[in-house]
Structure 1
Amino acid sequence: MKQVVTDAIVLSRTDYQEADRILTLLTPDHGKLSVIAKGVRRAKSKLAGGIELLAVNEITYIDGRSDIKTLRSARMRQYYDKIVTQLPRTMLAYDLLKRIHRVTEDDTEPEYYHILQASLAGLNNLGCDPDRTEAWSIVHLLMISGHTPNLRTDAAGEPLVAGQRYNYDFDASLFVPHDAGAFGADHLKLLRLAYASQSPQALCQVAGADVALADIAQHLRQVLQYTLRV
């Protein structure tokens, strides 16, 4: 049985027997794993403190035949400690873990790890409104799941233009012109920026767009629920 070393983010953990814990981990190169951390709940365990939530952890595990691997060692590399200083950030971080857990399979693509790691880093930035990080994370979950909206043309195939208001067609994943529509040019620009950027930082740097970004975050939650049921 070989030992594997990789980075991992804890998606969930469950106490098992007297001192063990079963962890579900997301990794950049080995998909989603279930591992057992034997004795981790004992005060003197070498694993205690090395494998935590809201952190990037370097782990070594035994890759045997069982679906549940055995954790041999763990070392915390990056703890996003500022998230837990504010309750809304903490709650959103746990929601993100649950979302990623629900939409991923065991052999999931590496992009899911990148989305989660970048989202935790964004929430750790106290200078950035959590709505902006959430909007970015949902956009990229939708994109990797094949639910990218049409941000170029409307339902009639006409280019989306400034000065026109739009509503969103959830079934067709595109915008429909409407004089009293919920979305305008500012919303569309921010959505395009979110899809094009590799981290939430791009949205965090946009000044004076709090109202539009709050609208977008709420809209994207609805799209996520409609398409992926999470």
Structure 2
Amino acid sequence: MAEFPVEGLALSCRPLGENDRLLTLLSDSHGLIRLAVPGARRPKSSLAAAVPLAHLRLQVGGNRGLRRVRQLRLLRSYGGLGQQLETLAAAQALAELCLALVPDEVPAPGMLADLLLQLGRLEAFVREPQAGVEALAVAVQGSVHLLALGGYALPLGRCARSGEPLQPPIGDRNWRSSFVPADGLMIGSHSQARLVLNASELALLQRLVRPAPPRRRDGVLMGPPVVWLRLLELVACWCDEHLGRRPRAFRLLANSLNGLLESGAMDGDAPP
């Protein structure tokens, strides 16, 4: 096979042999593609930029077996997300979700663009005091987007049991919807429910299919951290049921946010 160019985001890297790396790249044109990066573990290698969360443009070749990277250009590194545990955990969770959703060597239009959008949002908050809850929100909304692109969209429009539209009556404190991972959301409280959402919580979840994060007019993120943690658990349960596993970084993110709430570093009682 002749050499060809490919652009994508490095989702994972691991050692290969003595000096090489095995790179798993997310691209529009090839979905997930696994490549050998010769000499990338040598300090002065021209291919040393093949590391996780690096946006790369590559020249790839090889006739059989594992294809090899011939040339590499670093377009952007998201390594700075490691300055905050929460932003790094959110980025890792979204990368793990792509690894579970995207098939090998099959085009995956839209996945790369959406993942890069979410990583850019994480970068904008990495040094901000509210980085924790913003990272949590990005992880939840990004997961909702990626699941839809990967063919496992959360069914947020209609009751899974009756087929009635899911139209949460904001302000009705008694209204409830039940989340059953095998089916979706149902109006009312049900014994099989993994989570029960009130009207405001469901309305917030439904807004996550939109491109922009849900914010008030003053720019503050809608919803308190405790609600975002509940939505993270809902997405995790959906992944367990339909993908067979949840991203491991979900737990790291949830534990970190719970720790911040318990320490009083974040206000968990703000109104949604």
- Is the TM value for this pair above 0.5? yes
Gap change, CA 1:69 and 1:187, over 3 Å in 2? same
Per the alignment, residue 252 of structure 2 pairs with none
Quote the Cα distance in structure 2 between the aligned partners of 1:179 and 1:17.
Answer: 54
TM-aligned CA distance change 1:43 to 1:27, over 3 Å:
same
Are 1:150 and 1:175, in contact at CA under 8 Å, matched by a contact in 2?
no
Aligned residue number for residue 91 of structure 2: 93
Report the 3-state secondary structure (helix = DSSP H, G, I; strand = E; otherwise coil) of the residue aligned with 1:82: helix
Q: Is the 8 A contact 2:21 2:38 kept in 1?
A: yes
**2:239 is aligned with 1:221:** no
Matches within 5 A, 1:106-145: 106=104, 107-126=106-125, 127=128, 129-145=134-150
TM-score normalised by length of structure 2: 0.73
1:224 Cα deviation after fit: 1.4
Residues 84/115 of structure 1: CA separation in 2 closer, same or farther (3 Å cut): same
Distance 1:151 1:91, change over 3 A: closer
Q: Give the match for residue 178 of structure 1.
A: 189
Q: CA RMSD in A?
A: 2.4
- Deviation per CA, 1:130-186: give whole Å up to 9, x if none: 111111122123323433343333222333331221111222222231299721222
Q: Which residue number in structure 1 is paired with residue 223 of structure 2?
A: 209
Q: CA separation of 1:38/1:153 partners in 2, compared to 1, >3 Å: closer, same or farther? A: closer
1:146 to 143, 146, 151: 151
**Structure 1, gaps ≥5 residues long:** none
| Structure 1 stretches of at least 4 aligned residues deviating more than 3 Å after TM superposition | 203-208
Structure-to-structure mapping, 1:16-35, within 5 angstroms: 16-35=16-35
CA gap 1:156/1:31 in 2 versus in 1, 3 angstroms: closer
State the shift of 1:108 in Å.
4.4
% same residue: 24
1:159 to 157, 165, 174: 165
Q: Determine which of 207, 228, 242 is the counterpart of 1:193.
A: 207
SS at match of 1:195: coil
CA-to-aligned-CA distance 1:101-152 (integer Å, 9 cap, x gap)? 1332111422332332223223222155111111112212332343334333
Residue 83 (structure 1) shift: 0.9
Question: Any idea what SS the aligned residue of 2:28 has?
Answer: coil
Query: Offset at 1:3?
Result: 2.3
Q: After superposing the two structures, state which structure 1 stretch, 12-21 or 149-158, moved more.
A: 149-158
Residue of structure 2 equivalent to 1:66: 64
The TM-score, its normalising length taken from structure 1, stands at 0.85
Q: Contact conserved, 1:132 with 1:203, CA < 8 A, in 2?
A: no
Would the alpha carbon gap of residues 173 and 191 (structure 1) be closer, same or farther in structure 2, given more than 3 Å must change?
A: same
Residue type of the alignment partner of 1:101: L
Report the 3-state secondary structure (helix = DSSP H, G, I; strand = E; otherwise coil) of the residue aligned with 1:159: coil
Note if contact 2:141-2:213 (Cα within 8 Å) is conserved in structure 1: no
Contact 1:34–1:67 at 8 Å: present in 2 too? no
* Partner of residue 39, structure 2: 39
For 2:220 and 2:150, locate their aligned partners in 1 and report how far apart those are by CA, in whole Å. 26
Once the two structures are superposed, residues 61-111 of structure 1 have per-residue CA deviations (whole angstroms, 9 ceiling, x without a partner) of 11x332421101112111124311111222332232222213321114223
Which AA in structure 2 matches 1:89?
A: T
Structure-2 change in CA distance of 1:144 and 1:187 (3 Å): same
